[in-house]
A and B are shown apart, each in its own frame.
Chain A
Amino acid sequence: MSYRTILILLSILCAVLFAASLLIGPSGISPLHGLSALISGDGAAGLVMRELRLPRAILGIGVGAALGLSGAAMQGFLRNPLAEPGLIGTSAGAALGAVIAIQTGLYALFALALPLAALAGAGVAVALILILAGREGRALVLILAGIAVSALAAAATALVLNLAPSPYAAAEIVFWMMGSLADRSMTHVALALPFLIVGALILLRAGPGLDALSLGEDAAASMGISLKKLRLQIVFGTALMVGAATAVAGAIGFVGLVVPHLLRKSVGARPSRLLPASALGGAAMLTLADIATRVIAPERDLKLGVLTALVGAPFFLSMIRKMGREG
């Protein structure tokens, strides 16, 4: 199958799943009625379609694309199939920001307080990483700095949880951290979308540099690639996308790890080709998972992050097993 065919098929899959995400939900609106209500915006059905399902479907695509694309970029940059977008600490930082907003009650003041606090957390994490890893440092230093910052953010998050004023606040925090796309509004979409788009543009431009990096840092530099610029591209692009994604959806694991791996063989392993394919694949996978949470347990508000981890972790294990066998 040619590369172009794969991209077209993935795009069609995304479009179909986007439509399905719009048309499936607990309120039992028939597909035709739903579509006309979406266009006209009339009545209760119009409200449900425009205020609940449309933002949810858009965020499913956007957040999924963010995770898939940044996962592929991170794996390409670190030349490691086990790398994932959270590695540089942005998702842990964003989670901490959100948790602080919940703990302090800030999030009740206005709708965007929580995602804005999460974005600020991601920003602080990136600043820390760049200070810790220096501006020249090698990939290994970046990973270690990412692990350190993630650990610090996780500890701070645990501390906030530990000191939560009430079980209610603690439950709120725990549920937020599980990751979900339920009850998001167009305001969330408007907040996240600019970051997602700018981040995506930055990461997609890193393709040739990542290709060259397949031959090692020295060879890439000799082929005219500025490693310093590439590193900043990857760090900022990932931070923008993952920061915004975490801010509106919470922590969703495994998509960024699994999707590039699933697609790598079929696109011919070149990192530059994997980037757009992973963005589409991530969008499709997350939207599918989000639909699944509504179909499997419509009454129980099954969290999206729980589902992706439930499916992702066994897959991850089988991947490691396979790597072990190939030696």
Chain B
Amino acid sequence: MLELENLTVLRGECPVVDRVSAQVGPGEVIGLIGPNGAGKTSLLRGAMGLLAHRGDSSLSALDPMARARAAAWLPQAREIAWGLSVADLVALGRLPHGRDQATRGAAAVEEALRRMGLDNYRDRAATQLSGGEQARVLIARALAQESPLILADEPIAGLDPAAQIATMQVFTAHAQAGGAVVTSLHDLGLAARHCTRLWVMDRGRLVADGAPGEVLTETLLAQVFHIRAHFKNTPEGPVFQPLSTLGV
């Protein structure tokens, strides 16, 4: 669904994403982790074709409308201008499909509203909702786009624990329905529990790519995140708790 080959994003002369190669297949929820400034956002935007880059991304080769039908992008900044109603905002996700799909469009919007629990919000002005509710509305927009792949930049930042878990569950459901999600996030515990695979970035390089249990090793946590943490596989899934920072 997404193939990156030697993807490189330069800021001036300095590579903020450095020769990253990776693939995403159907059914995967990929957690993109790494410290601040590791290049997670640039990797996602470069992969979408929103940033000039070297190397290849299978998405940026497409024309803009076809790309939008292949992949939806959730930027980290939750920008909503004007008092658009929730239903109108979610319907914006249908833009890449043109007018010929009007009937399918209405159904997709309804489905997205229902999945994000927004049935009772449809006529509310999105600007007057709380931050968590706005995040749900924006995710619903991406779902209404019905693109198989969703790329999301820190979609759970600033959400309460219930909303964080609910969001990760929506991503899992999207992947299980044959789609795929790549999401950057800082909560390594949620990443370990809800992602099928983790990509670890450090200073622009993809330094690890594998199942959470394989990736979140003591060495990697020390090298990349400069922390010591407790990691344990329990009957309810992996549990992860950062304990202390290591002297830098």
Physical interaction between A and B = yes
Q: Which residues of A contact B (CB under 8 A)?
A: 79, 208, 211-216, 218-219, 221-226, 264-265, 268-271
Neighbour of B48 across the interface among A79, A216, A222, A225, CB < 8 A = A222
A-B contact pairs, 8 of them (CB 8 A): A214-B80, A214-B89, A216-B77, A223-B93, A224-B69, A224-B96, A268-B84, A269-B125
- Which of chain A's residues have a CB closer than 8 A to the CB of B89? 214-215
- A-side binding surface: helix, strand, loop or mixed? loop
- Which of chain B's residues have a CB closer than 8 A to the CB of A223? 68, 92-93, 95-96, 145
**Complex: how many Å from CA A45 to CA B102?**
53
Contact A269 B85 (CB under 8 A): yes
Neighbour of B95 across the interface among A216, A224, A226, CB < 8 A = A224
- Given A222-B73, A224-B67, are A215 and B82 also a contact pair (CB < 8 Å)? no
Q: How many residues of B contact A (CB 8 A)?
A: 32
Determine how close the nearest CB of chain B comes to the CB of A182; give it in whole angstroms.
37
Interface members, chain B 76-96 (any A CB < 8 Å) = 77, 79-85, 88-89, 92-93, 95-96
- Given A222-B50, A222-B68, A269-B125, are A208 and B84 also a contact pair (CB < 8 Å)? no
Q: Does B138 contact A (CB under 8 A)?
A: yes
Determine how close the nearest CB of chain A comes to the CB of B70; give it in whole angstroms.
10
**Complex: how many Å from CA A265 to CA B83?**
8
Contact A213 B81 (CB under 8 A): yes
**Complex: how many Å from CA A15 to CA B184?**
55
Q: Does B205 contact A (CB under 8 A)?
A: no
**Complex: how many Å from CA A219 to CA B84?**
16
- Which of chain B's residues have a CB closer than 8 A to the CB of A225? 64, 95
**Complex: how many Å from CA A208 to CA B89?**
12
Interface members, chain B 164-220 (any A CB < 8 Å) = none
Which residue of chain A has the shortest Cβ distance to B79 in the bound complex? A216
- Given A221-B64, A222-B48, A223-B145, are A79 and B81 also a contact pair (CB < 8 Å)? yes
Interface members, chain B 131-166 (any A CB < 8 Å) = 138, 141, 145
The residue among B69, B74, B79 with the most chain A CB atoms within 10 A of its own CB is B79
Q: Does B32 contact A (CB under 8 A)?
A: no
Contact A219 B64 (CB under 8 A): no
Neighbour of B75 across the interface among A208, A213, A218, CB < 8 A = A218
The contact string, 1 if C-beta is below 8 Å from chain A, for chain B 79-122, is 11111110011001101100000000000000000000000000
